């Protein structure tokens, strides 16, 4: 058996500084489509995604929340994974930059670059954008602000290590402009890199920090942690086992076939990353693609701007494949695309409910009505078939080429043109008229067969985008596995001649746009509130034993004080029926400490002790969110005994 050809595709590793939003969904879905396509082509795919967990921003956020950075990222990473599972993302590996094997790789990479003379020690002064963790030169600022996010920058200076990026300028320019290599797409990004960064003079890059601790320590100078971008970019090779013993797949998968991201981080991937790889004597990625942004009310949808549409709510209400389809259909290659709920509803109604859903349900219903569900095998061709056939024949090559180059919206547009053509074919052939004349039964069966076969061929090509809907359609049209492979999309008439259809549930119910808009509006956080107020969806089932592992007890608050230098934490002394315990809780914003003294509260008492702001916490006080976005502790009746177990 010949060995499968490897294919390696990556998303950026996302910052777990806030929960994932539909912007992150777009990139991850686009990669998922390519990964699924490549698997259908019989390739051995490595689809990598993950999270970029170090840096000052995370350290600051954790401090604000009164928890350790590791605890902070653990919670959010779980939400990323939950979302990818919900969306059916078929990633093969999930890397976290806090994984020990990755840290080991980064430390060795930094050491190697230092030993080889590509990293040297110096002093950095510059303009620093804290949220973006980026230093900028004066000339790169836009109106004195960070050119990426538009926020204020501050003067910053520190002893630091530098990567000799300037030395690579000629090679980088050659690399990016080499038409044969064609490494960066779309082409407009090449001009941007060359004209805005290389031509004005590429500066050496500051690649270490001393101003915070939450990073990978530089092994030979432990005051310093490695700059997050050097740490983050290394993920693409550490995940394959470069300089670590966790994996051993560099030979198999490197160089990457495609790094996918949005435009704002193309700079890091097309300048710093190739320079690092050249310095390490490693081959360069074959393709870097920078897509546009999903915008929302004019700006990039982002965690910090509070304009986030919750993908859990959208998929709960309208289905996973509807959201997948909409996001992928709406984003033209290389350009931005606005997101509104209304656009999504219109898209679902027109493309999915009207065109695709109706085509399937009408065709299946007619096979049942006119032939009892199973078609006879005789056929009678007609010139009316030709255009539909020739469109179907041309479709696979176009769709595959578009998917492979991330022109996913174009591929979907082409598929839906054929679906529209198939609907027109129904009207042209008027099966209800053919059905009235017994002599036309063979032609009627032919028309219905051609429709089923067209649905089959289109559905195969849609399946990377709609992996949950495709099997449901195949079932309805009676398409067995052997005629749903990628190759079978090019084969006319692969569907069994005496096919039997099965009536199934409506694939995409029509959305009442006005009603849904009003309901979503009622669900969405109000302007002055934080977006996090949207209710968390119900978690997956767990078993009673899971619950029994938690020891939840009643406790009476003896005293309660604000923790010095923390605006979040309260320190409680609690009568727990067993001699008392100290618990810290991050609810200082919502209470005056004295309000809580004397209350009987609920607490989890068997978590391991945890230090916060130098104080030990022995448990967790239960609380719940209020409609205004605050928190109230769970209060028990005064007659409940301290130490009583909650069950």
Using CB under 6 A, list all residues that contact ligand ME8. Answer: 12-15, 23-24, 26-27, 52, 232-233, 235, 261-262, 264-265, 293-294, 300-302
Pairing mode, if any, of strands 288-291 and 258-262?
parallel
* Torsions phi, psi for 469 (to 5 deg): -80, -35
In this complex, which beta carbon is closest to ligand ME8, that of residue 303 or of residue 581?
Answer: 303
CB-based burial label for 272 (10 Å; 0-12, 13-18, 19+): buried
Q: Least CB distance from residue 95 to ligand ME8, whole Å? A: 10
Closest CB to ligand ME8 among 228 and 574? 228
User: What does the chain come to in residues?
Assistant: 647
Shortest Å distance, C-beta 334 to ligand ME8: 12
Tell me how far, at minimum, the Cβ of 265 lies from ligand ME8, in Å: 5
Give me the least distance between CB of 256 and ligand ME8, in Å please.
12
The CB-of-49 to ligand ME8 minimum distance in angstroms stands at 10
Cβ atoms of 291 and 30 closer than 8 Å: yes
Cis status, amide bond into 255, omega within 30 of 0: yes
Are 27 and 261 a contacting pair, CB within 8 Å? yes
- Of the pair 30, 40, the CB lying nearest ligand ME8 is at 30
Return the number of the residue (15 or 345) whose C-beta is nearest ligand ME8.
15
Tell the smallest beta-carbon distance from residue 350 to ligand ME8 (Å): 23
Q: Which is nearer to ligand ME8, 26 or 312 (CB)?
A: 26
* DSSP strands (E only) in 67-206: 93-96, 119-129, 134-136, 154-163, 184-185, 205-206
Nearer CB in complex with ligand ME8: 265/634: 265
Residue nearest to ligand ME8 (CB): 23
Sheet with strand 184-185: strands edge to edge = 93-96, 44-51, 6-14, 258-262, 288-291, 184-185
Cα(406)–Cα(328) distance, integer angstroms? 10
Which regions of 171-287 does DSSP assign to beta strands (E)? Answer: 184-185, 205-206, 208-209, 225-226, 258-262
3-state secondary structure (DSSP) of residue 217:
strand
What number of other Cβ atoms are within 10 A of residue 281's Cβ?
A: 8
Residue (38 or 263) nearer to ligand ME8, CB = 263
Q: Tokens representing 537? A: 């969806």
Q: Is 300 helix (H, G, I), strand (E, B) or coil?
A: strand
Q: Which is nearer to ligand ME8, 232 or 569 (CB)?
A: 232
Give the residue with the Cβ less far from ligand ME8, 42 or 299.
299
CB of 15 to ligand ME8, least distance (A): 4
| CB-based contacts of 1, cutoff 8 Å, min separation 6 | none
| Whole-angstrom distance, CA of residue 620 vs CA of residue 604 | 5
Cα gap 217→232, rounded to integer Å: 14
Instruction: Note the Cα 291 to chain centre separation in Å.
Output: 14
**Shortest separation between residue 76's beta carbon and ligand ME8, angstroms:** 10
DSSP 3-state of 582: strand
Shortest spacing between CB 97 and ligand ME8, in angstroms: 9
User: Is the CB of 26 or the CB of 253 nearer to ligand ME8?
Assistant: 26
DSSP secondary structure letters along 505-544: --SSPPP-HHHHHHHHHHHSPPTTS-GGGSPPPPPPP--H
Least separation, in Å, of the C-beta of 13 and ligand ME8?
5
Residue 303 or 553 with smaller CB distance to ligand ME8: 303
Give me the least distance between CB of 20 and ligand ME8, in Å please. 8
- Residue by residue, what is the 3-state secondary structure of 335-350? CCEECCHHHHHHHHHH
Query: Which C-beta is closer to ligand ME8: that of 63 or that of 300?
Result: 300
Beta partners for 621? 603
Least distance to ligand ME8, CB of residue 466, Å: 20
């Amino acid at each position: 058996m010949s060995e499968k050809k490897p294919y390696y595709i990556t998303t950026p590793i996302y910052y777990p500084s806030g929960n994932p939003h539909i912007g992150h969904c777009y990139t991850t879905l686009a990669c998922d489509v390519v990964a699924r396509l490549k698997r259908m082509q019989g390739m051995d795919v490595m689809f990598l995604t993950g999270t970029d967990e170090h840096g000052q921003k995370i350290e600051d956020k954790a401090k604000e929340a009164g928890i350790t950075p590791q605890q902070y990222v653990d919670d959010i990473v779980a939400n990323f994974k939950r979302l990818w599972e919900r969306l059916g993302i078929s990633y093969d590996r999930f890397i976290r930059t806090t994984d020990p094997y990755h840290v080991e790789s980064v430390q060795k990479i930094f050491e190697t670059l230092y030993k080889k003379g590509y990293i040297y020690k110096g002093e950095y002064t510059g303009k620093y954008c804290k949220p973006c963790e980026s230093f900028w030169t004066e000339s790169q600022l836009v109106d004195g602000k960070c050119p990426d996010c538009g926020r204020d920058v501050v003067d910053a200076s520190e002893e630091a290590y530098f990567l000799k990026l300037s030395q690579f300028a000629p090679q980088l320019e050659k690399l990016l402009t080499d038409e044969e290599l064609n490494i960066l797409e779309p082409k407009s990004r090449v001009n941007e890199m060359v004209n805005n960064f290389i031509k004005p003079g590429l500066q050496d890059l500051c690649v270490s920090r001393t101003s915070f601790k939450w990073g990978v320590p530089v092994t030979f100078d432990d005051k310093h942690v490695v700059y997050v971008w050097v740490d983050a970019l290394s993920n693409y090779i550490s995940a394959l086992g470069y300089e670590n013993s966790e994996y051993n797949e560099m030979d198999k998968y490197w160089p990457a076939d495609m790094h996918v991201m949005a435009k704002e981080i193309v700079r890091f991937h097309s300048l710093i990353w190739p320079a690092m790889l050249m310095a390490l004597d490693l081959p360069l990625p074959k393709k870097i693609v920078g897509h546009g942004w999903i915008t929302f009310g004019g700006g990039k949808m982002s965690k910090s701007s509070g304009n986030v549409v919750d993908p859990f709510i959208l998929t709960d209400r309208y289905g996973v494949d509807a959201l997948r389809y909409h996001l992928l259909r709406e984003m033209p290659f290389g350009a931005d695309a606005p997101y509104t709920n209304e656009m999504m509803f219109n898209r679902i109604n027109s493309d999915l409910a009207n065109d695709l859903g109706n085509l399937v349900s009408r065709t299946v219903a007619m096979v049942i009505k006119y032939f009892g569900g199973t078609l006879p095998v005789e056929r009678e061709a007609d010139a009316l078939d030709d255009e539909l056939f020739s469109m179907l024949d041309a479709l696979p090559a176009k769709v595959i080429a578009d998917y492979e180059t991330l022109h996913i919206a174009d591929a979907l547009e082409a598929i839906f043109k054929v679906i529209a053509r198939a609907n027109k074919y129904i009207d042209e052939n008027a099966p209800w008229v053919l059905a009235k004349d017994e002599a036309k039964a063979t032609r009627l069966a032919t028309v219905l067969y051609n429709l089923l076969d067209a649905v089959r061929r289109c559905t195969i090509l849609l399946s990377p985008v709609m992996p949950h809907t495709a099997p449901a359609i195949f079932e309805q049209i009676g398409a067995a596995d052997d005629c749903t492979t990628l190759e079978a999309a090019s084969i006319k008439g692969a569907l069994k001649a005496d096919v039997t259809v099965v009536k199934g549930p409506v694939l995409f119910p029509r959305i009442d746009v006005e009603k849904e808009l009003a309901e979503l509006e009622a669900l969405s956080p109000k302007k002055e509130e934080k977006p996090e107020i949207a209710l968390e969806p119900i978690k997956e089932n767990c078993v009673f034993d899971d619950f029994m592992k938690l020891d939840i007890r009643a406790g009476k608050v003896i005293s309660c004080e604000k923790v010095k230098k923390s605006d979040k934490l309260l320190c409680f002394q609690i009568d727990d029926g067993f001699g008392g315990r100290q618990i810290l809780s991050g609810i200082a914003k919502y209470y005056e400490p004295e309000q809580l003294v004397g209350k009987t509260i609920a607490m989890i008492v068997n978590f391991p002790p945890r230090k916060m702001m130098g104080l030990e916490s022995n448990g967790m006080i239960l609380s719940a969110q209020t409609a205004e976005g605050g928190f109230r502790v769970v209060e028990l009746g005064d007659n409940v005994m301290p130490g009583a177990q909650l069950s």
